[in-house]
Amino acid sequence: MMQLWPVARRQILIAGLLAGLAMGCSGCGGWHVPPGAKQLKNPVPSNSATLDAARALYGSDCAKCHGINGDGKRPPGSAYSYNTQPTNFTRKRLMDAMSDGEIYWKITNGRKPMPSFKNRLSDEQRWELVNFLRTFAHPANSVSPSASQTPR
């Protein structure tokens, strides 16, 4: 029986470390997106008009927490003071792992400290933001001519 204790303790330690790593995944842990939401398809085309509209929304509603460049670094003078690190939208692996429906659901419903945008932005505006957020990880997909004029 005494021999089992070191093995059990090691297993508990490993399980704890794995749980800590999973929870420490900045921008991905803790969201419980319903499977049906993940299957939603974006009805808004990604073109210069929709990306420009979303760029303006991002600047007024998102950049103060997620950073001007979408990198999760708050801009100077930002009042953001939560312990939760905002999602870094420049991480290709993270952004590619999320479906459009998942991103849309997160924007729509929020999760502390991020507010819900369900009543603040229209469905179309939230879908436009999904397209725009993807341009941080894939700048070549930013079809807007004015995108090159926006500091990154």
**Domains in the chain: boundaries:** 31-75+85-149
> What pLDDT is recorded for position 22?
44
Collapse the DSSP code of 114 into the 3-class scheme (helix H, G, I; strand E, B; otherwise coil) and give the result.
strand
> What pLDDT is recorded for position 76?
80
pTM score over 0.85: no
> What pLDDT is recorded for position 59?
95
Predicted confidence (pLDDT) at residue 95 exceeds the cutoff of 70:
yes
With cut-offs at 50, 70 and 90, classify the pLDDT of residue 3.
low
8's tokens: 């059990």
Whether CATH 1.25.40.20 fits 31-75+85-149: no
If one compares 14 and 39, the residue with the highest pLDDT of the two is 39
Return d(Cα 52, Cα 49) in angstroms, integer: 5
If one compares 83 and 89, the residue with the highest pLDDT of the two is 89
8 Å CB contact between 94 and 27: yes
